[in-house]
Amino acid sequence: MPVPFASVCDLLDECYKLHVEKKPNARAVSKWFDQHRNCINAQNTDLAALLSTLLPEKRSDRVYCIKTPTLEKLIGKALMLGASRLIELGLYKQSGQGVDLADCVERILTVTPNPLYSERDSITVEEIDQVLHGIASKIVWSSPCIRADQASSTAVRGRDDLQDIYRRLSAREAKWFTRLILKEFRPLILESGLIYRCCDSALPLILKIQDDFATAIKTLQSLKSHSPAEYVKHGAPQPSSLCMVKPKLGIKVGRQNWFKGRSIKHCLDMGHGRMSVEEKIDGEYCQFHVSIRDGKLQIQIFSKSGKDSTEDRCKLKGIITKSIGFGRADCTIQHDCILEGELVVHDDVVGSLNLADLHSYDTDTAVSQEDKIMPFHKIRNHIARRGRLINVDLDSPPRSHENLMIVFYDILYLDQQSLLDVCRSERFEILKRTVRCDSGRAELVRRTVVDFHRPTGASEVRKAFAKVITAKGEGLVLKPDGPYFDFHNRKQGRAGFCIKLKKEYIGTFGDVGDFAVVGAGYNPSKAKLYKIPNLAWTVFYLGCLTNKEEVRRWGAIPEFTVVSAVEIPESLLKTFMVHCHTMHVPLDMSATTKLHIPTGIEADAPLEFAFQSPPVFDMRCFSFDKPGNVGFWTLRFPTVSKIHFDRDFSDAITFDELQAMAKEARATPDLEDSQENLHWIAQLEGADPRGRAVDAASQLTATTMPTPSPRISRSPPHPLMRSRSRSPDMTKTKPGCQPCTEKVMTSLPTPPESSPPSEPERLSIDQHTPDEKRKRKLVPPSALATSGSVEARDTGLPCSFLTCATGTKRRKPLQEVDGNVLQSANNPRILFASAMGGTPQSTRATAKTKHEYPQDSPESTTGEEKPVEHKIDAVCCIPGPILPSIEQTSLPAEKANPAKQAPKPCVFAGENCHLSDYTILLAASALAHSDERIALLGEHGTGTTDTVVDMDEWLEATRFGATLGDTKSPQRRVLMLVDTIQRKSETQKVLTSLEWARKKLPRKTCGWIEVYDWRVLHHLKVMEDDNEKDKYFDGFHDPWRRWYCGIV
């Protein structure tokens, strides 16, 4: 049953009115479909023609080659307009009118209607679709299947049929028909998913598998005919029926939904479970349909828009043939397959591949070190468009060492078996068996799998992203390790999506600088998108000075090279019109500026007006590119971040500065720059909301500490860390300085911004020279117990805090350690170790492997464990649930007596162990059982029972650390280990009680107890062990910042 075009115009008019009123149109669309349900569901209704009319932008296979000026002439000829009416038809060109060509056509036909128009003989959607199909069939840029219909049809008249249609339309129908030809309904936007669901609830899912209107509708009708009872009962096919729908060779498979990741936290919020982290390749998307029939190989290639581009990319056929092993005995394809990949240009000579070195890649996917992917603009020199190389006049010709390469990353169909419901990892394994890598011609994308449910998930993604940025890569793509499309759980919304993570998506990372705005243009269609009366400009042109020195010194006429064209959002455009009062003149009348406009600068409107005093825009972009027929570097995907009204165009970026900036941004480092990599890791941490890393361990969360934000931190600096801007011997404090403490809240503070910061004065290092070798002493427990101790009744703490035993052991003071033992001061990790007197370490952080922390059992053991047989050099207080007390331990007398026991130093750093000057407290109730923790304490020389005391006894003996900060009688630093992952709530309770008790202590002498997650022991091992070549601390500069929880 034919659908009248007038009925479609009713829907479009109503939706447009709702748009003007800023109301949603979903209810109006659903109501319209319900009213025409009988017509839509009729067997003889061409549903594909209706979809093509409502969603013209989806028909990328149809190209009409009719722009607004051409269509204006066709309409004038079709309606036989006179000179005055032609002037009226062209009013849309004048800026400030607020109308487009369609509005002008409606105005003319409202005054003088078409004599051939008849309501009884109204035109149908099917007639219009047939005419448009006939026009597209004569255009060489249309898809081959569209052009094939020209040979079979002899009645196609092309644009003559278009004129006949205009003579039969009413004023309202002519308006929407004009916009239909131009494929531009905006500002009206009809949601495609809503249109599909209103036609049939199963149509959106079928279109994902078969992205073609006609083919998808045939499949839908086939499902209805095979299961009519199911349609009567449920009104739609069930998931079991939809799983029978398979991809079809020659019909493009729809793409997954893509989202932009604005930060690491944003990616973690959108992702879930196991995620495939892959490098984003800067090339052209290709979907390859390979068929083997009767020993012959047929290849069809689809572009991102869905158009069949096999003719344009015919050079890829040889690469595909070789990569699948066609004609060889080991070819795994028997019938057909569908592959996805990225088309790039490969340089066989220069350097190494610009792909970030993600860890844990499959060895079969490794790319050769001699590979090199060239910039995106190089593709147009190798790929012809319908036999023509477009926009290459200013490009250097392709060289012999430049060749096309395909980076494969997915397989969707193999031997008549759909893989859309197979998880990502399994599909990639099948892809590895199907495609044979050929260096420089065919490769597999590099990938790794990250579990977003693990505490280290954010750190792994951050590290991978930082490496991509350092290597000047395109970015990352995060894909769930699930099916390509999930038909079993439609409402989940989790499967079938990808996350693009680029540096320029995050915060201010894409900021470039200030650019002069030298002119503007007007596009009537874009003007309708802005609700601004008398709008004169819609497109602004950016220019760069080429004679800045002459202008400043001699007042010469500024000469600008136009480098880009941008559109700005409505809010900024209103601000520009109100506050920017620059004078503008037609381009050919400009006398105060000279503009050089390259032919390749493309925009929706030509540059018509020149600004006499160019304003300044603050710009950002995604990267730099060389557009066709431009010949120089310019901004890629530029956007305006703000408008400056207090700056002159002479302060903007010059042309030479832009070119130098682009070359530096595109240049790939010859060697891995670990310092730059660490810098980007820190930047990414600070880019999370509120300047805090999503995996921060403050507030006793279960992962890492936050990146220091630009806000001034009131928390005291970390006692172990010295400022990177000062040498170790410059960090000594003045003798006699009193400490400056602040009230510690229950929410533990974060460390300061500098890493490592300087030593606090109230825990100052002994000021005597190393020659004097003056050792620190702990106050004997007996002396502390008899000197005005804080009573239990005064503290109100539980009885678990009220037992006592302690021991003392002299160690070499930290300031006596040679701080210059390391030579590589540029590496923050090495610099930290150098300032702390650590052992020499490797200066390259390659991060090829990663330590996985075992998850501790949530239940703590109640039985006694045999203590670790290691001597200690620091006082270590281990509660009963971890190690038995001294009285409960049946040890020989010589082992129970510390004076008779020879100390065993740290097996990694010996006397230079970072724990050598610490009293370590293990909070019993805040620690889950862990054999690894006990072993690490022993390896660091702190695992024997000779000097082990209970934490509660130590608290009573030292009056809860009342004299920790007393500079007259220096005390050991106290470090408390907790478990913020397995015992988060218990840790909070212990620290809350302890913090409440220490409030009554004198602020000048109470000092503080540092709190760390016990997993800092492993990272200290990594930092001190020379055998550990990968000095990686989950993306942080040092172990202390990684597991810092706060102070009490």
Q: How far is CA 151 from CA 64, 134, 137, 967, 1001, in A?
A: 17, 11, 9, 97, 95
DSSP letter for 1038, please: S
DSSP H or E stretch at residue 266: helix 264-270
In the predicted model, is pLDDT for residue 14 greater than 50? yes
Cβ burial 927-953 (10 Å sphere, 16+ → b, else e):
bbbbeebbebbbbbbbbbbbbbbbbbb
* pLDDT at residue 432, rounded to an integer: 94
In the predicted model, is pLDDT for residue 819 greater than 70? no
Task: Assign a CATH topology to domain 5-199.
Answer: DNA ligase i, domain 1 (1.10.3260)
Backbone φ and ψ of 559, nearest 5°: -115, 125
Cα distance between residue 914 and residue 899, in whole Å: 23
Q: Label residue 998 by pLDDT band (50, 70, 90).
A: confident
In the predicted model, is pLDDT for residue 1037 greater than 70? yes
Q: Is the peptide bond before 756 cis (omega within 30 degrees of 0)?
A: yes
Cβ burial 715-750 (10 Å sphere, 16+ → b, else e):
bbbbbbbbbbeeebeebebeeeeebebeebeeebbb
Cα distance between residue 584 and residue 613, in whole Å: 8
Is residue 437 classed as helix, strand or coil in its secondary structure? coil
For the ranges 86-100, 803-817, 833-847, 998-1012, the maximum mean pLDDT occurs at 86-100
In the predicted model, is pLDDT for residue 835 greater than 50? no
Which has more pLDDT, 27 or 779? Answer: 27
By the 8 A CB rule, do 343 and 316 touch?
yes
Three-class HEC string of 346-376: EECCCCCCCCCCCCCCCHHHCCCCCCCECCH
Is residue 955 classed as helix, strand or coil in its secondary structure? helix
Cα 621 → chain centroid: 15
Cα distance between residue 804 and residue 128, in whole Å: 93
Mean pLDDT across 529-540: 88
CA geometry: angle 453, 456, 459, nearest 5 deg: 120
Alpha helices in 944-1015 (DSSP H): 951-957, 984-997
Residue 986 CB neighbours (<10 A): 19
By the 8 A CB rule, do 905 and 913 touch?
yes
**Which region among 190-199, 446-455, 762-771 has the lowest average model confidence (pLDDT)?**
762-771
- Domain extent listing, the chain: 5-199, 257-505, 515-528+538-652, 775-816+864-1048
Q: Is the peptide bond before 752 cis (omega within 30 degrees of 0)?
A: no
* pLDDT at residue 236, rounded to an integer: 60
Cα distance between residue 16 and residue 106, in whole Å: 15
Which pair of structure tokens corresponds to residue 330?
Answer: 């080991």
Mean pLDDT across 221-241: 67
Structure-token match 């427990």, residue found: 781
Which pair of structure tokens corresponds to residue 196?
Answer: 């599909």
| Nearby residues of 99 by Cβ (< 8 Å), 6 or more positions away | 91, 92, 107, 524, 528
* pLDDT at residue 22, rounded to an integer: 87
* pLDDT at residue 1013, rounded to an integer: 86
Q: Label residue 664 by pLDDT band (50, 70, 90).
A: confident
* pLDDT at residue 891, rounded to an integer: 36
Cα distance between residue 539 and residue 520, in whole Å: 5
By the 8 A CB rule, do 706 and 750 touch?
yes
In the predicted model, is pLDDT for residue 21 greater than 70? yes
Structure-token match 């709008």, residue found: 535
Cα distance between residue 633 and residue 204, in whole Å: 41
By the 8 A CB rule, do 505 and 395 touch?
no
**Which region among 238-252, 280-294, 571-585 has the lowest average model confidence (pLDDT)?**
238-252
In the predicted model, is pLDDT for residue 1009 greater than 90? no
Cα distance between residue 8 and residue 556, in whole Å: 59
In the predicted model, is pLDDT for residue 821 greater than 90? no
Cα distance between residue 366 and residue 915, in whole Å: 41
**Tens digits of per-residue pLDDT, 613-656?**
899 999 988 889 888 888 899 998 899 989 998 888 888 999 99
**Tens digits of per-residue pLDDT, 23-47?**
999 999 999 999 999 888 888 889 9
By the 8 A CB rule, do 864 and 876 touch?
no
* pLDDT at residue 797, rounded to an integer: 42
Which has more pLDDT, 973 or 733? Answer: 973
* pLDDT at residue 240, rounded to an integer: 63
Mean pLDDT across 221-225: 83
Q: Label residue 151 by pLDDT band (50, 70, 90).
A: low
In the predicted model, is pLDDT for residue 806 greater than 70? no
* pLDDT at residue 1022, rounded to an integer: 86
Q: Which CATH number fits domain 515-528+538-652: 2.40.50.140, 1.25.40.10, 3.40.50.300, 2.30.30.60?
A: 2.40.50.140
By the 8 A CB rule, do 737 and 771 touch?
no
Cα distance between residue 753 and residue 766, in whole Å: 25
DSSP H or E stretch at residue 551: helix 548-554
In the predicted model, is pLDDT for residue 515 greater than 60? yes
Q: Label residue 339 by pLDDT band (50, 70, 90).
A: very high
Q: Label residue 734 by pLDDT band (50, 70, 90).
A: very low
**192-199 vs 47-54: helix axis angle to the nearest 10?**
160
**Tens digits of per-residue pLDDT, 428-457?**
999 999 999 998 899 999 999 999 988 888
* pLDDT at residue 892, rounded to an integer: 38
Which pair of structure tokens corresponds to residue 136?
Answer: 């597209």
By the 8 A CB rule, do 337 and 413 touch?
yes
Q: Label residue 231 by pLDDT band (50, 70, 90).
A: low
**Average per-residue pLDDT for the chain:** 75
Which pair of structure tokens corresponds to residue 450?
Answer: 């990250």
* pLDDT at residue 399, rounded to an integer: 86
By the 8 A CB rule, do 176 and 95 touch?
no
Q: Label residue 117 by pLDDT band (50, 70, 90).
A: confident
Is residue 1043 classed as helix, strand or coil in its secondary structure? helix
Q: Which strands sit side by side in the sheet containing 973-978, from one edge to the other?
A: 876-877, 918-922, 973-978, 1010-1013, 1044-1047
Which has more pLDDT, 291 or 120? Answer: 291
**5-20 vs 47-54: helix axis angle to the nearest 10?**
30
CA geometry: angle 157, 163, 169, nearest 5 deg: 130
Mean pLDDT across 64-77: 92
CA geometry: angle 789, 790, 791, nearest 5 deg: 110
Strand partners, 984: none
Closest by Cα among 669, 621, 685, 663 to 356? 669
Which has more pLDDT, 858 or 13? Answer: 13
Q: Label residue 950 by pLDDT band (50, 70, 90).
A: low
**Tens digits of per-residue pLDDT, 584-612?**
888 888 888 999 999 888 788 889 899 98
In the predicted model, is pLDDT for residue 491 greater than 70? no
CA geometry: angle 135, 141, 143, nearest 5 deg: 85
* pLDDT at residue 916, rounded to an integer: 75
* Class of 257-505 in CATH: alpha beta
Mean pLDDT across 113-133: 87
Q: Label residue 730 by pLDDT band (50, 70, 90).
A: very low
Strand partners, 291: 298, 336
In the predicted model, is pLDDT for residue 902 greater than 70? no
In the predicted model, is pLDDT for residue 742 greater than 60? no
pTM (2 decimals)? 0.65
